[in-house]
Structure 1
Amino acid sequence: MRGLRILVVDDEQDYCNVMKVILNAKGHQTALCTSGADALSLLSKNTYDLVITDLIMPEMDGNQLLHEIKNRYPDTEVMMMTAYGTIENAVGAMREGAYSYVTKGGNPEELVREIEKLQSMLELKRENELLKEKVAHVDVMLDSKSPGFLEMLSIAKKAAASDTNVLILGESGVGKEVIAQYIHRNSLRKNKQFMDLNCHAIAETVLESELFGHEKGSFTGALHRRIGRIEAADQGTLFLDEIGDIPLTMQAKLLKTIENKKIYRMGSNEELEVDFRLVTATNKNLEIEMEEGRFREDFFYRISTIVINIPPLRKRQEDIPLLIDYFFKRSQNEMKKPIHRIDPDVMDFLKNYHYPGNVRELKNIIERLVVLSEDGVVQKEALPTFSQRSKPENQASIQDERGLKEIRRETEKNHIESVLRRHNNNMTKAAEVLGITRRQLFNKISEYNLEK
């Protein structure tokens, strides 16, 4: 558990100093002050998880300070310190919202235990809030008016109902993990674990340990047994992002695991049975990766029973205003910086920019705008200069700035559609004309959401 940010309030400086030594030794960040007025001043400038205050103090006593804190900073917990003769008063303070009380001058372990209880409570509260926020985030990311995006969601929901392997394709930043979570939430495994791993730039030995786990002593630095992501995903969903970046040798090991549903931890001869649903994602063109020998064809076919393509944000213009509103609200809440006015030029830019980095770039730009806002006003000067330089003048300029990968995909899709039409959707004949196998043609039809 992470340490707490604690403010100690006591009119005896020496006692404050002793408290700081005890609390810092337990990993907490401790600030001190000797009056209620000073405490309120510090609270106006800093955020604290806990205020530990003496009950009896001149000018403003602990009860008055408690009242002010709960009115102004309701999320800050308060613990009272009381002498033996004033325990009744401390109990009364708890009725007014104090978390707990400890006897002043008593055994320090009593204080430590109470703080540990609070740590556990706050940790659980944070986990619940993060879970709620994650669910809300996924819901907003899926709220769309774009026909292309809604069609993609329909395919994802149908795929979720089965237990087949799903490959999610899309540019960097489009929200592939969001779709993976959507598939999990709509599957029969929704009440089990969702385990995810980004495979990008992870060394092969580390990646093997992450996926399969290891036994103590299996390699230098393996001081304890480690449960890998595959084993942890048993009965649930395993999501491997950036699957196009894993080495060929690891592709072979994963292929065997997918086929047999069995693994060995590194350094162990014990065979473990695992039951997981596999969802993978990449922004790479795996056809090219296979042609150039960097991706196994048999592995590709195994992970791509269902292929889902997420459209880039520039093809979801209808959704941009909703996402702008959501990210502004989220950033304001996270940074505790309310926004009262947004320069019209900023909104115009945000609604018309082509977002090569997709939803992730939109989120980052808005976070920057909130950070650099002054007195609740977002001004156009806060826009990133690289975005201003690349702002499209019109729709034609957006088309001109497409990457080679996108142009190639569009050309390939149109050509396949044309060949299928010319040969009345005869798969054998179309595959022969295209110079690929029927299986490859079927995968292309799934990848591009074409109707046979």
Structure 2
Amino acid sequence: MTKQFKILIVDDEAEQREAIKIILESKGFMVGEASSGGEALDLLEGEFYPLVLCDYIMPGINGLEVLKRIKQLYGESIEVIIFTGYGDVESAVEAMKLGAFGYFIKGNNPDELLLEIEKAKKLLSLGKKHSLIAKKNEKRYLYRTKNQKMKEILSILEDVANTNANVLLLGESGVGKEVIAQKIHDMSDRAKMPFVAINCQYFSSNLLESELFGHEKGAFTGANEKRIGRFEEANGGTVFLDEIGEISNEIQVKFLRVLENRTIERLGSNKQIPVDFRLICATNRDLIKEVKNYNFREDLFYRINTITIEIPPLRKRREDIEDMIYFFMDMYKEELKKDIKEVDNNTLKFLLNYDYPGNIRELKNMIERLVVLSKNGILKMDNLGAISFPVKESNRSQKVAPYEKAKEEFEKEYFYSALKQHDFNVTKTADAIGISRRQLINKINEYNLRQEMDH
């Protein structure tokens, strides 16, 4: 990989160019040379160098002008490190304000220069990685919307993205909280750095602590080697803590300390490690109620909700359902290499009118199953392999039940039928309909389905 990394040295002194070239080539870099700013700009027109090492003081076009033109022409795809003498440090710092990656004082230890080059390499590599991730996210996520509430949310994201304000995302399971968190990260000035998502519900308290903070070798039974935690992994980027309402009081205390001091301690160590990350949290719990019940710390609650965004369930943004159907259809068509031509009319009608208790996640899972089981390039409910509920035509002469009552009856029938379809296996049923096991258990208890399951 090192041999593929090209560096252009720009300096009017041949001896200086030669000395640096020897050092860089000994480390495996491919090195080009230019004796003036004009020659460097001409070279870059015909050959790409991701990193330019440029002398500040040169006759003709000086280093500052070379920097300006490179940034105008190539933006962040080329980084520039300025060479300078001791008396020019102030000017070099000024160059950094204009976009230079760093500066190297002539006569200093060459290891300092090599360290700066490695940093620039890493940044450029992360930039490429981010570009690939951004393109991938465009295919994975549908950000456009016809829903007014979602339009307002996307507008808020633009205001929030380039601040360091902590964001709390609220909404039912499956509404796309992680998608919104990813969008905030992608729009922010941290976008080139890692986006690290952790679902707090997936881990026991002890495992979650190790996952977040990391551990030293021998910190506990089974800790056979040192491991950095997610907070360290996200340094410079964004941490997304999903289901924040599930974390224990003990971890809440430690987490609050991290937010206050911006340092962490790995398990088995008392060394303070500085961390820098943007925090986004999400929950489908009522945290205010959890605070009143002493299940969630009030001081932590106010720390994490500088900005609160509530994402509506899919049933309240029905105007987006059709776009989502075709978006997921195209996504899985490409991913699964299936020749999909159309959606059967009755199937489309069902999908447009269904209530989606599992929200976008449920719709996505349904479309995936329809694509997998499709025949002759047509998505059809007969091939869904899951429960189908006929869409009832409205009857003007029939009295309409109150929404909450109708919803309750629908959900009870839906969850019972889903459980029966999967032999009353809670885990399999939850996976099939796209909600968590805990949510399904809550619904079983809410609708007293255990009695019917036992018969």
What is the rounded CA distance, in whole Å, between the counterparts of 1:398 and 1:175 in structure 2? Answer: 24
Give the corresponding residue for 1:134: 137
1:316 CA drift (Å): 1.0
Give the corresponding residue for 2:171: 170
Cα 1:397/1:386, change in 2 over 3 Å: farther
1:195 CA drift (Å): 1.1
Question: Helix, strand or coil: the match of 2:369?
Answer: helix
What is the rounded CA distance, in whole Å, between the counterparts of 1:193 and 1:165 in structure 2? Answer: 17
Give the corresponding residue for 1:422: none
Verify the 8 A CA contact 1:392 1:398 in the aligned structure 2.
Answer: no
Give the corresponding residue for 2:200: 199
Per the normalisation by structure 1, the TM-score is 0.58
1:126 CA drift (Å): 11
1:128 CA drift (Å): 8.3
Question: Helix, strand or coil: the match of 1:328?
Answer: helix
Gapped runs of 5+ residues in structure 2?
A: 1-127, 395-399, 409-455
Give the corresponding residue for 2:50: none
Give the residue type in structure 1 aligned to 2:222.
G
What is the rounded CA distance, in whole Å, between the counterparts of 2:404 and 2:358 in structure 1? Answer: 15
What is the rounded CA distance, in whole Å, between the counterparts of 2:360 and 2:402 in structure 1? Answer: 20
Moved more, 201-210 or 376-385: 376-385
Give the residue type in structure 2 aligned to 1:312.
P
Give the residue type in structure 2 aligned to 1:372.
L
User: Where do 1:230-241 residues align within 5 Å?
Assistant: 230-241=231-242
1:387 CA drift (Å): 4.3
Give the corresponding residue for 1:346: 347
Verify the 8 A CA contact 1:353 1:392 in the aligned structure 2.
Answer: no
1:261 CA drift (Å): 0.4
What is the rounded CA distance, in whole Å, between the counterparts of 1:295 and 1:200 in structure 2? Answer: 15
1:131 CA drift (Å): 5.8
Any idea what the Cα deviations from partners look like across 1:381-434, whole Å, max 9, x if unmatched?
A: 124553416x5666967654557xxxxxxxxxxxxxxxxxxxxxxxxxxxxxxx
Cα 1:126/1:228, change in 2 over 3 Å: closer
Question: Helix, strand or coil: the match of 1:200?
Answer: helix
What is the rounded CA distance, in whole Å, between the counterparts of 1:205 and 1:285 in structure 2? Answer: 24
Cα 1:193/1:253, change in 2 over 3 Å: same
Cα 1:249/1:355, change in 2 over 3 Å: same
What is the rounded CA distance, in whole Å, between the counterparts of 1:397 and 1:338 in structure 2? Answer: 43
Question: Helix, strand or coil: the match of 2:172?
Answer: coil
Give the residue type in structure 2 aligned to 1:151.
E
1:266 CA drift (Å): 0.6
Moved more, 142-151 or 371-380: 371-380
Cα 1:251/1:314, change in 2 over 3 Å: same
1:263 CA drift (Å): 0.7
What is the rounded CA distance, in whole Å, between the counterparts of 1:328 and 1:126 in structure 2? Answer: 27
Give the corresponding residue for 1:219: 220
User: Where do 1:57-68 residues align within 5 Å?
Assistant: none
Verify the 8 A CA contact 2:171 2:177 in the aligned structure 1.
Answer: yes
Give the corresponding residue for 2:296: 295
User: Where do 1:10-89 residues align within 5 Å?
Assistant: none
Give the corresponding residue for 2:411: none
1:183 CA drift (Å): 0.9
Any idea what the Cα deviations from partners look like across 1:296-340, whole Å, max 9, x if unmatched?
A: 111111101110011111111111111111111111112222122
Cα 1:386/1:317, change in 2 over 3 Å: same
1:262 CA drift (Å): 0.8
What is the CA RMSD across the aligned residues, in angstroms?
A: 2.5
Give the corresponding residue for 1:148: 149
What is the rounded CA distance, in whole Å, between the counterparts of 1:314 and 1:266 in structure 2? Answer: 44
1:207 CA drift (Å): 0.5
Give the corresponding residue for 1:373: 374
What is the rounded CA distance, in whole Å, between the counterparts of 2:242 and 2:321 in structure 1? Answer: 25
Verify the 8 A CA contact 2:130 2:192 in the aligned structure 1.
Answer: no
User: Where do 1:350-365 residues align within 5 Å?
Assistant: 350-365=351-366
What is the rounded CA distance, in whole Å, between the counterparts of 1:143 and 1:318 in structure 2? Answer: 11
What count of residue pairs does the alignment treat as equivalent?
Answer: 277
**Is 1:251 matched up with 2:255?**
no
Any idea what the Cα deviations from partners look like across 1:53-88, whole Å, max 9, x if unmatched?
A: xxxxxxxxxxxxxxxxxxxxxxxxxxxxxxxxxxxx
Cα 1:392/1:204, change in 2 over 3 Å: farther
Verify the 8 A CA contact 1:174 1:360 in the aligned structure 2.
Answer: yes
Verify the 8 A CA contact 2:347 2:380 in the aligned structure 1.
Answer: yes
Verify the 8 A CA contact 1:176 1:310 in the aligned structure 2.
Answer: yes
Any idea what the Cα deviations from partners look like across 1:146-202, whole Å, max 9, x if unmatched?
A: 101111111222121211111000111110011101111122212211111111141
1:342 CA drift (Å): 2.4
Verify the 8 A CA contact 1:212 1:228 in the aligned structure 2.
Answer: yes
Give the corresponding residue for 2:432: none
Give the residue type in structure 2 aligned to 1:136.
K
What is the rounded CA distance, in whole Å, between the counterparts of 1:392 and 1:310 in structure 2? Answer: 28
Give the residue type in structure 2 aligned to 1:237.
T
**Is 1:280 matched up with 2:281?**
yes
Question: Helix, strand or coil: the match of 2:198?
Answer: strand
Any idea what the Cα deviations from partners look like across 1:269-293, whole Å, max 9, x if unmatched?
A: 2111111111000111112222222
What is the rounded CA distance, in whole Å, between the counterparts of 1:224 and 1:254 in structure 2? Answer: 23
Give the corresponding residue for 1:96: none
What is the rounded CA distance, in whole Å, between the counterparts of 1:168 and 1:230 in structure 2? Answer: 19
What is the rounded CA distance, in whole Å, between the counterparts of 1:359 and 1:339 in structure 2? Answer: 21
Give the corresponding residue for 1:328: 329
Cα 1:193/1:287, change in 2 over 3 Å: same
* Identity among equivalent pairs (%): 49
Per the normalisation by structure 2, the TM-score is 0.57
Verify the 8 A CA contact 2:328 2:367 in the aligned structure 1.
Answer: yes
User: Where do 1:383-402 residues align within 5 Å?
Assistant: 383=384, 385-388=386-389, 399-401=404-406
Give the residue type in structure 1 aligned to 2:145.
S
Give the residue type in structure 1 aligned to 2:333.
Q
What is the rounded CA distance, in whole Å, between the counterparts of 2:151 and 2:405 in structure 1? Answer: 26
Verify the 8 A CA contact 1:354 1:398 in the aligned structure 2.
Answer: no
Verify the 8 A CA contact 1:165 1:277 in the aligned structure 2.
Answer: yes
Verify the 8 A CA contact 1:170 1:312 in the aligned structure 2.
Answer: yes
What is the rounded CA distance, in whole Å, between the counterparts of 2:283 and 2:171 in structure 1? Answer: 7
Cα 1:294/1:130, change in 2 over 3 Å: same
What is the rounded CA distance, in whole Å, between the counterparts of 2:325 and 2:298 in structure 1? Answer: 40
Question: Helix, strand or coil: the match of 2:215?
Answer: coil
Question: Helix, strand or coil: the match of 2:227?
Answer: coil
